[in-house]
Copies of this chain bind each other. A is one copy, B any other.
Amino acid sequence: MSEPADEFHLYDTTLRDGAQREGIGYSVADKLAVARLLDDLGVDYIEGGWPGALPSDTEFFRRARHELDLKNATLVAFGATRKAGRAVEDDPQVKALLDAGTSALCLVAKSDVRHIRRALRTTVEENLAMISDTVSYAVAQGRKVFLDCEHFFDGYRDDPGHGTEVVRTALTAGADVVVLCDTNGGMLPHDVTEIVTELRAALDGTLPAGKSVRLGIHCQNDTSCAVANTVTAVKAGAMHAQCTANGYGERPGNADLFAVAGNLALKLGLPVLPGGGLAKMTRVSHAIAEIANLAPDTHQAYVGHAAFAHKAGLHASAIKVDPELYNHVDPAVVGNDMRVLVTEMAGRASIELKSAELGLDLTGRPDVTARVTSKVKELEAAGWSFEAADASFELLVREELDDTVPAPFSLESYRVIVEHREDGAVVSEATVKVRVRGERVIATAEGNGPVNALDSALRQALQRHHPALAEVELADYKVRILAGSHGTAAVTRVLIDSSAEDRDWTTVGVHENVVEASWHALVDALTYALAPAPAAR
């Protein structure tokens, strides 16, 4: 893990503040997968959760120590300053935070007098002591400390002197950055400019020797200005921006990482997401949406499927000749594509990028790229999505590269029965009839659900000819119902995460019937498990 650039931090809190969005509930494996994507993208810090407060977050940090090998980012554990009236070294919440074992911590503190008195029920003085004690204590233990000032902007408006004092106290105690949070999300850009500028002027020259005014920004989207407020704070001198992937978060959400990164890099010229990260934004955005089990936002700035989609109309030819006159940035720079006609999805640029990612080199093979692109377009129009399903995508590309992965069997038929019996028992049973290496095999198995029964029956049918499948585990299973359009029925999309030894892979299946969609994903999963290495890799 390299030390992140220290002039500017892109700080991600998808896994902590972003997880507050209604309906999001990551498993620990999901969180590890999101962290890997964010690291690959190139953010500087990844806030992983609140150890001690949530058992699954404690578990995440425990597993992260062994399973996360971050290349760009530093993992951060989030927690609160010590409790009022308790010594910091005796505070179990602070202990749990340090026990997470991360080199960087983010502490949240109250900075609005009204919250200190009415919600925290303590005094302004004790609150400042809580900040000072906890920051010093963590710094003394060798940790880098960020301090989030909750409700900073509202508090500053109410009492600017106190707001300034909170920031001064934290910086003096050794905080690396003090983060100004618009927790209720009520600010507009001119408020942010005014308050950040005034605060910097008030702090200027008042800190102990060796300390400098390093401010961060954390915005919520309640005025629909979270991205603008974040960028505006950076223009006003903040050097640390807290964001979440796709703007996920409580209420209208947080500042969207991808829009903030795009704006900072392409409009303000800041070196965020170095090493090609910008071009991965579209793919990473969609992959995180898949893991969160949320539909990607088609109209999201920079990374949405429609972000560069022009309803051609009158200007079609002008757009074709001079696309730079009609796009605020080159879509390829953020891994997206311009679309002129009303067509579905993926373009060649992202297909090539993704293939390269999988070790399948399509450069110099425009014929293959064209065929894969057209096949992906057709499948995506029918509801398939390859953003998270790398294994299914690899199978598809290899087929077009004449490096087809052999099917381990052929299906004759299957049948699944689910019964809720008179005694209340719920039972699932599946029978598959397949041909494996010339032999016809029939197998029946029970399971705790229809897909589990089908999976068991299929493995049983294949085990004699493909003993390696005994190692393969079905690690996770996600289902999304996609609304129909243009008179078509709704379809079900299933994603299956499989693992074996040190590998894991994801496959996809789509059908109006959830069992058949699962079957497709299952067959891809087992096919991929047995696949020889690609010829081209």
Interfacial residues, chain A to chain B (CB-CB below 8 A): 20-23, 25, 27-29, 53, 56, 112, 114-115, 118-119, 151, 184-186, 188-190, 193, 221-225, 227-229, 231-232, 235, 247, 250-253, 256, 259, 262-263, 267-268, 293, 295, 298-302, 304, 306-311, 313-315, 318, 321-322, 325-329, 341-342, 385, 387-388, 411-422, 426, 428, 448-451, 476-483, 485, 489-490, 492, 511-516, 519
Residues of B contacting A267 in the complex (Cβ-Cβ under 8 angstroms) = 186, 188, 223
What are 28 inter-chain pairs, A to B, with CB distance below 8 A?
Answer: A22-B387, A23-B388, A114-B325, A185-B328, A188-B228, A188-B263, A188-B267, A189-B232, A190-B193, A190-B232, A223-B267, A223-B328, A224-B300, A225-B231, A228-B228, A228-B229, A247-B299, A251-B299, A251-B307, A252-B300, A252-B307, A411-B420, A416-B418, A420-B516, A426-B515, A449-B514, A476-B483, A477-B481
Instruction: Report chain B residues within 8 Å CB of A23.
Output: 387-388, 485
Q: Smallest Cβ distance from A80 to chain B, in angstroms?
A: 9
Residues A422 and B413 in contact, CB atoms below 8 Å apart: yes
Instruction: Report the nearest B residue to A427, measured CB to CB.
Output: B513
CA A385 to CA B22, docked complex, whole Å: 11
Known contacts A250-B311, A489-B448; is-contact A516 B223 (Cβ 8 Å): no
* Residues B513 and A418 in contact, CB atoms below 8 Å apart: yes
What is the minimal beta-carbon distance from A155 to any residue of chain B, in angstroms? 10
The reply to whether A22 and B419 contact each other, CB–CB distance below 8 Å, is: no
A507 to nearest B CB, angstroms?
15
Report copies per complex.
Answer: 2
Shortest A509–chain B CB gap in Å is 12
Q: List the B residue with the shortest CB-CB distance to A480.
A: B293
Which B-chain residue is minimally distant from A191 (CB atoms)? B267
For A326, the chain B residues whose CB sits under 8 A away are 184
Contact of A328 among B184, B227, B293 (CB under 8 A): B184
**Closest residue to A448 on the B side, CB-wise?**
B512
What 4 A-B pairs are tightest by C-beta distance, nearest first? Answer: A186-B328, A228-B228, A224-B259, A479-B479
Residues of B with C-beta under 8 A to A232: 188-190, 228
Q: Is the CB of A515 within 8 A of B251?
A: no
A414 proximity list for chain B (CB < 8 A): 419-420
User: How many angstroms between the C-alpha atoms of A252 and B22 in the bound complex?
Assistant: 23
The interface residues of chain B lying within 8 Å CB-to-CB of A513 are: 418, 426, 428, 448-450
Q: Is the CB of A483 within 8 A of B22?
A: no
Q: Which of B22, B27, B342, B412 contacts A422 (CB 8 A)?
A: B412
Chain B residue at smallest Cβ distance from A256: B224
Assess the A189–B250 pair: CB atoms within 8 A: no
With the chains together, A231 CA to B191 CA distance in Å?
Answer: 12
Nearest CB to that of A225 among chain B residues?
A: B228
One of B119, B301, B318, B388 near A222 (C-beta < 8 A): B301
Shortest Cβ distance from residue A267 to the other chain B in the assembled complex, whole angstroms: 6
For A293, what are the chain B residues with a Cβ–Cβ distance below 8 Å? 480
* Bound: A263/B315 CA distance, A: 34
- With the chains together, A263 CA to B191 CA distance in Å? 12
Residues of the B chain whose Cβ atoms lie less than 8 Å from the Cβ of A251: 299, 306-310
Which B-chain residue is minimally distant from A451 (CB atoms)? B514
Whether A119 pairs with B322 at a CB distance below 8 angstroms is yes
Are the C-beta atoms of A221 and B417 separated by less than 8 Å?
no
CB pair B119 A318 closer than 8 Å? yes
Q: State whether B231 touches A449 (Cβ < 8 A).
A: no
Q: How far is the CA of A429 from the CA of B426 in the complex (A)?
A: 17
Cα distance, A153 to B92, chains bound together (Å): 55
Q: In the assembled complex, how far is the CB of residue A413 from the closest CB belonging to chain B, in whole angstroms?
A: 5
A103 to chain B, nearest CB (A): 26
Q: For residue A302, which residues in chain B have a CB less than 8 angstroms away from its CB?
A: 222, 224
**Interchain CB contact (< 8 A) of A298 among B22, B310, B417:** B22
CA distance A89 to B427 in the complex (A): 64
